[in-house]
């Protein structure tokens, strides 16, 4: 299969499409945690409880209130090969917990993969909506519709004082996590990022890496999300995040202008070197790939590199992950073999575009 055809089949909408402010905001995500009344949380489940949750969800997604929101399919994790579960995790559609502990879990996917609902993960339901660019409000509207449609059929665990009850106390209340994935290379290169991230933590937000909690930042990618779910409405949580994100966007744009005006030769040299390595290297590990892709995406956004799709960072940050590589090449690969195949895939992807380096 050609890379072009594989991309068409394998890419989620958030990987393929653009959106507002997408030179800095790669994605907007809303995740809602919900549990079913009178059924133990997944950590205390028996197989019977897990099956009860699965049957309840299967009935709910078959109802007209839900099916009008799109075409969905429910798949049990235990019915999927490990490699396929890993690919879904790399595409940010399921968590590592469902990859490693597939026995009780399932996922409900909309055909465009904008919506995914994890079943029997940390909570009975984790409703997730991912959209490209800065589209938090739109993502929340869709997530709210999904939540309402499920709630017409599923009795949620809810307390009049504390709100929606969840397995982790930090999610009690609204159960909502709103986040954006930001590309902030200029703030990193200018040495401002640590000061800014410290300030963010003081206003009720948290910063994580590419794959969320417990992961480090790579490729100048930072996931910024709310910490507080209790005592504020969903709209207030999103408005607070939007306000801080807009300030981050302004700081990043200012840092880019400063780098261009004060250190243009060094910046262009860095970007062009990274492009040359990606275009000709024969071995690439995951960390270096993200670093070089970050430089190239910055070069695209600043007009230094022309003819390369601006979406290449989103595409290749997923496509070059271990499971995705093995899926594309249709074989199990050792780490050393993945480095060789990763470099080959990047070269092939770059050849698809009509590149011009200024």
Determine if residue 355 is labeled as part of a ligand binding site. no
Are 246 and 343 in the same domain?
Answer: no
Determine if residue 199 is labeled as part of a ligand binding site. no
Are 12 and 107 in the same domain?
Answer: yes
CB 185 within 8 A of CB 220: yes
CA 261 to chain centre: 33
Determine if residue 130 is labeled as part of a ligand binding site. no
Are 175 and 207 in the same domain?
Answer: yes
Determine if residue 177 is labeled as part of a ligand binding site. yes
Determine if residue 152 is labeled as part of a ligand binding site. no
Question: Could you tell me the CATH number of the domain that includes residue 49?
Answer: 3.30.590.10
Greatest distance between any 2 Cα atoms in the chain = 65
Residue 241's pLDDT is 93
Determine if residue 29 is labeled as part of a ligand binding site. yes
Specify the number of domains making up the chain: 2
Determine if residue 131 is labeled as part of a ligand binding site. no
Determine if residue 126 is labeled as part of a ligand binding site. yes
Residue 9's pLDDT is 67
Task: Please report whether residue 1 resides in a domain.
Answer: no
Q: Which two tokens stand for residue 324?
A: 């995705």
Determine if residue 178 is labeled as part of a ligand binding site. yes
Q: Which one of 255, 278, 313 terminates a domain? A: 255
**What residues have CB less than 8 Å from 129, skipping those under 6 apart?**
29, 30, 31, 114, 115, 139, 140, 142, 143, 146
Determine if residue 213 is labeled as part of a ligand binding site. yes
Task: Please report whether residue 338 resides in a domain.
Answer: yes
Determine if residue 291 is labeled as part of a ligand binding site. no
Q: Which one of 223, 255, 287 terminates a domain? A: 255
Burial class (CB in 10 A: 0-12, 13-18, 19+), 43: exposed
Determine if residue 99 is labeled as part of a ligand binding site. no
Determine if residue 231 is labeled as part of a ligand binding site. no
Task: Please report whether residue 2 resides in a domain.
Answer: no
Q: Which one of 255, 289, 319 terminates a domain? A: 255
Summarize pLDDT for 69-128 with one digit per residue, the tens.
999 999 999 999 999 999 999 999 999 999 998 889 999 999 999 999 999 999 999 999
Q: Could you tell me if residue 6 is left (phi over 0), alpha (psi between -120 and 50 degrees) or otherwise beta?
A: alpha
Determine if residue 27 is labeled as part of a ligand binding site. yes
Determine if residue 30 is labeled as part of a ligand binding site. yes
Task: Please report whether residue 27 resides in a domain.
Answer: yes
Determine if residue 211 is labeled as part of a ligand binding site. yes
Summarize pLDDT for 163-172 with one digit per residue, the tens.
999 998 888 8
Are 242 and 322 in the same domain?
Answer: no
Are 187 and 285 in the same domain?
Answer: no
List, for the chain, all residue ranges whose pLDDT scores fall below the cut of 70.
1-9, 210-217, 354-358
Residue 102's pLDDT is 87
Are 234 and 308 in the same domain?
Answer: no
Domain, as residue range, for 279? 263-357
């Amino acid at each position: 299969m050609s890379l072009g055809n594989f991309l068409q089949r394998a890419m989620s909408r958030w990987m393929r499409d653009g959106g507002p402010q997408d030179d800095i905001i790669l994605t907007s995500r809303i995740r809602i945690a919900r549990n079913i009344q009178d059924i133990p949380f997944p950590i205390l489940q028996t197989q019977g409880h897990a099956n009860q949750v699965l049957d309840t969800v299967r009935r709910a997604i078959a109802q007209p209130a839900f099916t009008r929101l799109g075409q969905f399919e429910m798949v049990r994790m235990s019915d999927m090969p490990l490699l396929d579960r890993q690919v879904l995790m790399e595409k940010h559609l399921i968590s590592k917990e469902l990859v490693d502990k597939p026995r009780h879990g399932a996922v409900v996917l909309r055909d465009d993969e904008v919506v995914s609902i994890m079943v029997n993960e940390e909570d009975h339901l984790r409703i997730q909506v991912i959209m490209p660019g800065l589209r938090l409000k739109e993502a929340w509207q869709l997530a709210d519709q999904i939540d309402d449609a499920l709630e017409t059929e599923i009795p949620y665990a809810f307390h009049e004082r504390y709100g929606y009850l969840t397995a982790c106390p930090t999610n009690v209340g609204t159960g909502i996590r709103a986040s954006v994935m930001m590309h902030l290379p200029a703030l990193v290169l200018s040495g401002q990022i640590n000061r800014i991230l410290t300030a963010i933590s003081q206003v009720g937000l948290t910063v994580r890496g590419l794959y969320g909690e417990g992961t480090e930042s790579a490729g100048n990618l930072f996931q910024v999300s709310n910490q507080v779910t209790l005592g504020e409405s969903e709209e207030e949580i999103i408005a607070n995040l939007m306000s801080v994100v807009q300030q981050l966007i302004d700081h990043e744009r200012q840092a880019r202008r400063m780098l261009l005006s004060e250190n243009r030769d060094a910046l262009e040299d860095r970007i062009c070197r990274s492009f040359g390595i990606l275009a000709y290297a024969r071995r690439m590990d995951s960390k270096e790939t993200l670093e070089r892709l970050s430089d190239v995406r910055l070069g695209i956004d600043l007009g230094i590199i022309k003819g390369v799709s601006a979406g290449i960072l989103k595409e290749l940050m997923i496509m070059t992950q271990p499971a995705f590589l093995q899926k594309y090449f249709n074989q199990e690969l050792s780490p050393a073999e993945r480095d060789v195949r990763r470099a080959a895939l990047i070269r092939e992807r770059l050849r698809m575009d009509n590149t011009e380096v200024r």
